[in-house]
Amino acid sequence: MLPLHFRSSFGSSFRLCFCFSRTVRVSSLVSFPLSLFSVSLRVMSKPPSAFDALMSAAKKNSKSKTSKLSSPPKKRKSPLSTSSQNPSNPKSPKLPSPPITVVEPEQAVKQEELVKPVKQEELVKPEAVKPEPRKVRQLLTSSSSKGKTEELKKQVPQLKQKPSSFDPASIIAWEKGQPVPFLFLALAFDMISQESGRIVITDIVCNMLRTVMLTTPEDLVPVVYLSANRIAPAHEGLELGIGESIISKALAEAYGRNENWIKTQYQKKGDLGLVAKESRSSQPMMWKPEALTIRKVFNTFRLIAKESGKDSQEKKKNHIKALLVAATDCEPQYLIRLLQTKLRIGYAEQTLLAALGQAAVYTEEHSKPPPEIQSPLDKASDIVKQVYSVLPDYDKIISALLTEGLWKLPKTCKFTPGVPIRPMLSKAAKSVTEVLNKFQDVEFTCEYKYDGERAQIHYLENGSVEIYSRQAERNTEKFPDVAAAVSRLKKTSVSSFILDCEIVAYDRATQKLLSFQTLSTRARKKVEIEDIKVNVCVFAFDLLYLNGQELLQENLRVRREHLYASFEEESGFLQFATALTSNDVEEIQNFLDQAVGASCEGLIIKTLNEDATYEPAKRSLNWLKLKKDYMDNLGDSVDLVPIAAFHGRGKRTGVYGAFLLACYDNNNEEFQTICKIGTGFSESVLVERSSSLRSQVISKPKSYYRFGETINPDVWFEASEVWEVRAADLTISPVHRAAAGIVDPNKGISLRFPRLVRVRHDKAPEQATSSEQIAELYKAQKYNQANKQDDEDEEDY
């Protein structure tokens, strides 16, 4: 059924419907093939006087014109050849039929084949009626749509130029001030996915951002959020909330595919984005929707995230479907990946931040650094990274960047209650002696390292409480008991604060700490206090903000004094971290033993006065961790990412028998293999991990995976999980690539006899143990295994 709608400027309308098989002729003037079962075309009429005259004439002369314009006897007649649509009476005012432009993208259909010229004798003489000017909605023709796409595809490779020689004005695929096409971002993503060098990727991103800043600066915020694969700051808790089943259904409906076919192709390719791209390229369309813009995609994503209540899943599916229908070229591939939050093209957030700073330097308005800055590009990258660690909110940072300039960012973007800062982190130490050597002549303190969940608690002036994870995710709904406890136990003189602490599972009857695994059994959302079965205690160790005053630049001694003076302790609800200030080896060793006996992981050793400020997002030598793993001869506990697996045999048939693990290199933004692991799994855990990772299978390793040539796993995974692993020791390896070039110029480092401890749900893959940390751990080993390098059996796991 093809409905044609005619509407006059007064709002009156009528509608004709007709059935068709494969080809339709409209007034014998327009012919087009169809791949859909129903299509709607809306055609705007002439001004009322001309239109009424046209329709009046058509009614009077329907018979004569029908015989002229009707199709051959054996062919179905077009509904526009009926009496109500025939404007052929020579005595009536003659106007051309309203133009109908039909687009069929991805097919080589020439415009002249779609629309046949109207013969002069069928037109109205211009002097008969002088219609008023009118605006006609312009539909993109197939040739113009393809032309713009091809033009953009030719221009985007310029982004790979060195920023010093790149001219953002050379990208002229859209008018200045017009919304940035989503295809521009998708093509940039595609280019990045084919690169492995961090410098090249940074250049591409820098030039991309410069182009947006020059042409459409108001689109810089959505470009940056989509580049970070987010739709809002993490602390806002705004998530898309869609599973792969909804995406698959939308994909099937948008491209006329069977849902089972989609699932089969997904299993074969391991990438739903590639399935979408292939489906779109082979699916013709009669009418081309308006081209996607970055603004449109970003706003639709936020709309999807805000859908709730009845039929919300159906509404989300329809939003996705609308985007997919309008997508072209490689757009479907990256739309799907963004929806899955699995962009995974080797484009880390640190690169985005560095590129944003460099783009600001190259942008004319903000290119004048203070005279004391010798390396503006490096300094710009550092400024943006530092500001983001204190205020992880792209809306605020970019607004300040575009209005006040790059060099004023540290003053315009400050620590703000209600926005979590990135937590300060510690480096590993192997022994008490090592701690004393590093902190010579410096006063330090030791605190219990609790086995819980790192949290940042914000108490605002209005009395509200917000709780955030180490990844800046909002956890307020997860811990309503914690919110109640800190509100009750703060002193009356305290009107606002930001507390750095550890939330630990706690048995109040026995007054004992419980394991992290026990804590992980708590529900994550919409927790009611009366339903809580696992109690927790807050162990506070730092105060970052108090009564409107930022404390980051104060030393730890001052911050700790404010902490102790601002809260009342209550056992099992809120306690200060157990601490010891001493430089005696034996005393510290005993304190470490006590911490382990109290079910803690070990100690955190911190400077008190010198170099004792709070450094957001930094893994500082001013904080050292001494864990129990370092004293029981089981080796070091590290956080690694499974990136591949080997099929199980014998009793392990049907599950993965071993996994290939990797650390993360922050400098090169790549995952480097460090070991195979096949021990430390119970049967149930092995089934659970195999089942979890099957959904992450990909057809080939990512360009940012580094591994030896002799490693040939059966399947590769998306980097999606973090596992805590304990090993006997570390050794130089000719096969694995962890920290390659740091300890040995040609070889990497591997773990001997690794075993799984637990899955770290609180960490993202990029937060895994870094290659630099691996090198430090190797150097810190008490004995040198250099003599065993050549004898190492790489198959041991």
Q: Is residue 491 part of a domain?
A: yes
| Domain housing 245 | 141-347
Higher pLDDT, 186 or 49: 186
102-106, 353-357, 401-405, 551-555: least confidently modelled range:
102-106
Query: Which residues share a beta bridge with 506?
Result: 513
Q: Is 449 assigned a catalytic role?
A: yes
The listed range with the strongest mean pLDDT (371-375, 452-456, 760-764, 778-782) is 452-456
The crossing angle, in degrees rounded to 10, of helices 376-390 and 394-404 is 140
Query: What is residue 627's predicted lDDT score, i.e. its pLDDT?
Result: 80
Higher pLDDT, 29 or 551: 551
Claim to verify: residue 149 and residue 250 sit in the same structural domain: yes
pLDDT digits (tens, 9 = 90+) for 234-251: 899 888 888 888 999 999
C-beta separation of 714 from 647 below 8 A: yes
Taking the C-alpha atoms of residue 730 and residue 791, their distance in angstroms, rounded to an integer, is: 14
Query: What is residue 744's predicted lDDT score, i.e. its pLDDT?
Result: 87
Claim to verify: residue 223 and residue 153 sit in the same structural domain: yes
166 pLDDT tier (thresholds 50, 70, 90): very high
Query: Which residues share a beta bridge with 427?
Result: 624
Q: Is residue 417 part of a domain?
A: no
Q: Which amino acid appears at position 20 of this protein?
A: F
pLDDT at 181 over 50: yes
Q: Is residue 420 part of a domain?
A: no
C-beta separation of 143 from 107 below 8 A: no
Taking the C-alpha atoms of residue 377 and residue 505, their distance in angstroms, rounded to an integer, is: 46
End residue of a domain, out of 347, 378, 396: 347
Query: What is residue 345's predicted lDDT score, i.e. its pLDDT?
Result: 87
398 token code pair: 């970019």
531 token code pair: 């339903």
Query: Which residues share a beta bridge with 459?
Result: 465, 497
Close Cβ partners of 225 (under 8 Å, ≥ 6 residues apart): 231, 232, 298, 394
368 pLDDT tier (thresholds 50, 70, 90): confident
Query: What is residue 19's predicted lDDT score, i.e. its pLDDT?
Result: 44
Secondary structure letter of residue 756 according to DSSP: E
End residue of a domain, out of 631, 647, 681: 631
Higher pLDDT, 24 or 637: 637
Taking the C-alpha atoms of residue 625 and residue 637, their distance in angstroms, rounded to an integer, is: 12
Query: Which residues share a beta bridge with 206?
Result: none
386 pLDDT tier (thresholds 50, 70, 90): very high
Claim to verify: residue 461 and residue 582 sit in the same structural domain: yes
- pLDDT above 70 coverage of the chain, percent: 77
**CATH code at position 435:** 3.30.470.30
1-15, 94-108, 355-369: least confidently modelled range:
94-108
Close Cβ partners of 15 (under 8 Å, ≥ 6 residues apart): 3, 4, 5, 6
Query: What is residue 366's predicted lDDT score, i.e. its pLDDT?
Result: 54
Claim to verify: residue 439 and residue 510 sit in the same structural domain: yes
280 pLDDT tier (thresholds 50, 70, 90): confident
Claim to verify: residue 288 and residue 223 sit in the same structural domain: yes
Query: What is residue 26's predicted lDDT score, i.e. its pLDDT?
Result: 39
pLDDT at 158 over 60: yes
Count Cβ atoms below 10 Å from residue 582 Cβ, excluding itself: 14
Query: What is residue 299's predicted lDDT score, i.e. its pLDDT?
Result: 96
Query: What is residue 127's predicted lDDT score, i.e. its pLDDT?
Result: 40
The listed range with the strongest mean pLDDT (94-108, 148-162, 188-202, 557-571) is 557-571
Backbone angles phi, psi at 480, to 5 degrees: -65, -30
**CATH code at position 223:** 1.10.3260.10
Q: Is residue 793 part of a domain?
A: no
Distance of CA 39 to the CA centre of its chain: 35
pTM: 0.70
Claim to verify: residue 469 and residue 496 sit in the same structural domain: yes
Claim to verify: residue 550 and residue 595 sit in the same structural domain: yes
Backbone angles phi, psi at 349, to 5 degrees: -65, -30
Taking the C-alpha atoms of residue 186 and residue 330, their distance in angstroms, rounded to an integer, is: 6
Q: Is residue 419 part of a domain?
A: no
Taking the C-alpha atoms of residue 733 and residue 754, their distance in angstroms, rounded to an integer, is: 15
- In this structure, the dihedral spanned by the alpha carbons of residues 258, 262, 268 and 270, taken in order and rounded to 10 degrees, is 180
pLDDT digits (tens, 9 = 90+) for 597-622: 999 999 999 999 999 999 998 888 89
User: How many structural domains compose the chain?
Assistant: 5
429 pLDDT tier (thresholds 50, 70, 90): confident
Average of pLDDT values for 562-578?
97
Count Cβ atoms below 10 Å from residue 453 Cβ, excluding itself: 23
Which of helix, strand or coil describes residue 444?
A: strand
Decide: residue 180, CB within 10 A, 0-12 exposed, 13-18 middle, 19+ buried. Answer: buried
pLDDT digits (tens, 9 = 90+) for 716-736: 999 999 999 988 788 899 999
pLDDT digits (tens, 9 = 90+) for 673-691: 999 998 778 888 889 999 9
Claim to verify: residue 172 and residue 85 sit in the same structural domain: no
- The mean predicted confidence, pLDDT, of the chain is 81
Close Cβ partners of 188 (under 8 Å, ≥ 6 residues apart): 156, 159, 204, 205, 208
C-beta separation of 512 from 571 below 8 A: no
Q: Is residue 362 part of a domain?
A: yes
Q: Which residue has the tokens 């089981």?
A: 634
Q: Is residue 283 part of a domain?
A: yes
Claim to verify: residue 673 and residue 742 sit in the same structural domain: yes
pLDDT at 77 over 50: no
- DSSP H helical segments within 522-672, as ranges? 556-566, 585-597
pLDDT digits (tens, 9 = 90+) for 636-676: 589 999 999 999 887 788 899 999 999 999 888 899 999 99
Claim to verify: residue 290 and residue 338 sit in the same structural domain: yes
Claim to verify: residue 155 and residue 303 sit in the same structural domain: yes
**CATH code at position 770:** 2.40.50.140
Question: Catalytic one among 146, 296, 317, 449?
Answer: 449
- pLDDT above 90 coverage of the chain, percent: 51
Count Cβ atoms below 10 Å from residue 786 Cβ, excluding itself: 10
End residue of a domain, out of 301, 327, 347: 347
CA distances from 688 to 520, 656, 717, 762 (A): 16, 10, 15, 18
286 pLDDT tier (thresholds 50, 70, 90): low
Decide: residue 441, CB within 10 A, 0-12 exposed, 13-18 middle, 19+ buried. Answer: exposed
Query: Which residues share a beta bridge with 725?
Result: 638, 756
Query: What is residue 636's predicted lDDT score, i.e. its pLDDT?
Result: 58
pLDDT at 493 over 80: yes
Higher pLDDT, 49 or 401: 401
Q: Is residue 418 part of a domain?
A: no
Query: Which residues share a beta bridge with 507?
Result: 512
Helix or strand holding residue 204 (H, E): helix 198-215
Claim to verify: residue 388 and residue 442 sit in the same structural domain: no
pLDDT digits (tens, 9 = 90+) for 118-131: 444 444 444 444 44
Q: Which residue has the tokens 């911190």?
A: 606
DSSP one-letter string for 281-312: HT---SS-PPPPBHHHHHHHHHHHHH--STTH
Query: What is residue 495's predicted lDDT score, i.e. its pLDDT?
Result: 95
Higher pLDDT, 326 or 780: 326
Higher pLDDT, 44 or 439: 439
Count Cβ atoms below 10 Å from residue 761 Cβ, excluding itself: 11
Backbone angles phi, psi at 548, to 5 degrees: 85, 0
